[in-house]
Amino acid sequence: MKIKTQSFLLLAGIIIIPVVLVTSYWLMFHQRQKLGSDVPTYEEIFQEKEGLTSAEDWERIRQFISRRPPNMEVTVFDKATMEVIYSTMSHFTPGQKLDEKNLFQYSVDNSDKYFFQMTTPPHLKESTLVTLIRSEKKARPFRSRTEDYVNTVTIISVVILLFCIVIITAITRSIAKSVTVLEEAAKRVTRGELDQPIEVRGSNEVISLTKSLNELRLAVKENRDKQARFIMGISHDLKTPLALIRGYVEALYDEIPASPEERKQYAEIILKKADDLEGLINDLIDFIKVDTGEWRTAWETVNLRSFIEEIAKRGSEATTILKHNFKSEIDIPQDAAVQMDEKLMNRCFENLFSNAIRYSKEGCTVGLRAFQGSGCYKIQIEDDGIGIDKEELKNIFELFYRGTGSRREMGHGLGLAIVKSIIKSHNWEIEAESEAGKGTVFTITIPA
């Protein structure tokens, strides 16, 4: 059960329990009032018996009778004439003449079952009426309205207290147990123990927190592995040109090339490898900048159709020079606009076109297709080149990864990793579909 649900249950209990108890008390009090409403009015009883009491006094008697508990019965009679005016006792009926001796004897004969009390209702002004009250001895003793109120408040307080203790204890135990487990899990993550999954049972919020912590654990693990691969890739790609530069420098130092032409050739090779090394370092710097979102502040609103048309124009020029065919199909609204870093995104598409051309034979077709989807825009760069094996397709966006077909070409395995980082930095998506020997399609999805 959610902690929020438990809290609502606690709040509902605090509200509902008093309402139920107060309603019960009101119904009980209303029942007493109903008993009083059955007492005849002044006009109904004293229409032909004037002078016994006033309407004001009879109303006080009615109120007095209405406050009696259900187990009490009353008989009202005139003490001057001993005539019964009103009675809830089956032994006495209205109009009956009472005899003091018989009344006393009746009280004595039934004293083992009932309590009897004869009284004049308080605050009467002009009345000679007397009430005889009879209550069962085995019945619950009569309590005043004040006593009922105090008892009701006490019961409400006790029930609410017990309810709160139970619910709060359950919530506290659940949270405390879950927090303890999560604390231990967090310590393991801090120590670098990332292989053991975090398992916590409890409320939905705790389970959700556990899921988030597991995702964090996996992300940290992936970043650690990514960092290790990054370092290994840098080491490998930097070592190769450095080794060549070192070899040719040592050859020059040892005066191995005899002629000026050979020395010039060695120097040109050293310069080329230095340029390769500088290009690799620049690519690494660009990747880190994009991956950390350092260029995200350069976003601006760009007309998407105009942007794609310009990309298609440059793609057409590049493919024509390299003797490839080019086709484009743009079905984007004229007023479509998106937020982007135009410089970064130009580099992204240049990289995709460069790969499409590089891994296609002369005379193959490179295409661009742009259209509006459901709640998004889609841009596809496609070719009918050598394609990518299914086993390699899932790794093509990895840093320093180079597939079997790409190893014959120049490069360091940074291009598609930079493309993926640029796309992710814009909150866009990119995916690739390919089949060896049949070409590749890169699809970029842009939220509308």
| DSSP, residue by residue, 43-78 | HHHSSS-TTS--HHHHHHHHHHHHTS-TTEEEEEEE
Whether 57 contacts 124, CB under 8 Å:
yes
Residues 277 and 298: their CA atoms lie apart, in Å, by 28
Whether 7 contacts 171, CB under 8 Å:
yes
Q: Can you give the pLDDT at residue 362?
A: 83
For 317, the token pair is 């020029």
Q: Can you give the pLDDT at residue 48?
A: 63
Q: Can you give the pLDDT at residue 242?
A: 81
Residues 28 and 411: their CA atoms lie apart, in Å, by 90
Residues 184 and 181: their CA atoms lie apart, in Å, by 5
Instruction: Output the CA–CA distances (angstroms, integers) from residue 264 to 248, 272, 274, 442, in the order listed.
Output: 11, 12, 15, 44
Helix axes 342-358, 304-321, angle to 10 degrees: 30
Q: In 3-state terms, what secondary structure has residue 304?
A: helix
DSSP state of 83: B
The structural architecture, per CATH, of the domain 204-291 is Orthogonal Bundle (1.10)
Domains 204-291 and 296-447 agree in fold: no
For domain 39-142, which CATH number applies: 3.30.450, 2.60.120, 1.20.58, 1.10.8?
3.30.450
Residues 263 and 66: their CA atoms lie apart, in Å, by 126
Residues 322 and 316: their CA atoms lie apart, in Å, by 10
Residues 301 and 431: their CA atoms lie apart, in Å, by 24
Compute the radius of gyration of the chain from its Cα atoms.
Answer: 48
Domain regions of the chain by residue span:
39-142, 204-291, 296-447
**What pLDDT tens digit does each residue of the chain (448 aa) get?**
555 666 666 667 677 767 776 776 666 655 555 444 567 877 777 766 666 777 888 888 888 887 777 678 889 888 888 888 888 888 898 888 988 888 888 888 888 888 888 888 777 777 788 888 888 877 555 555 566 666 777 777 777 778 778 877 777 777 777 777 777 777 877 777 777 776 666 555 666 777 777 787 788 777 777 666 666 666 666 777 788 888 888 888 887 877 888 888 888 888 888 887 887 777 677 666 666 655 555 688 999 999 999 999 988 888 888 888 999 999 999 999 999 888 888 888 988 988 888 888 888 899 999 999 889 999 999 998 888 888 888 888 876 666 554 444 444 567 788 888 888 888 899 999 998 888 999 999 999 8
Q: Superfamily assignment of 296-447 in CATH?
A: Histidine kinase-like ATPase, C-terminal domain (3.30.565.10)
The closest of 100, 33, 43 to 67, measured between CA atoms, is 33
Separate counts of helices (H) and strands (E) for the chain: 11, 11
Residues 149 and 31: their CA atoms lie apart, in Å, by 16
Whole-model pTM?
A: 0.46
Q: Can you give the pLDDT at residue 311?
A: 92
Residues in the chain: 448
Residue matched to tokens 């193959």: 364
The closest of 198, 246, 195 to 225, measured between CA atoms, is 195
The closest of 172, 189, 171 to 198, measured between CA atoms, is 189
CA 49 to chain centre: 77
CA 298 to chain centre: 33
Residue matched to tokens 């019961």: 155
Q: In 3-state terms, what secondary structure has residue 302?
A: strand
For 423, the token pair is 């796309």
Residue 178: burial class (beta carbons within 10 Å; 0-12, 13-18, 19+):
buried
For 187, the token pair is 């310590």
Residues 293 and 437: their CA atoms lie apart, in Å, by 36
The closest of 418, 386, 385, 387 to 401, measured between CA atoms, is 418
Q: Can you give the pLDDT at residue 166?
A: 80
In DSSP terms, 66 is beta-bridged to none
Helix axes 3-37, 145-190, angle to 10 degrees: 170
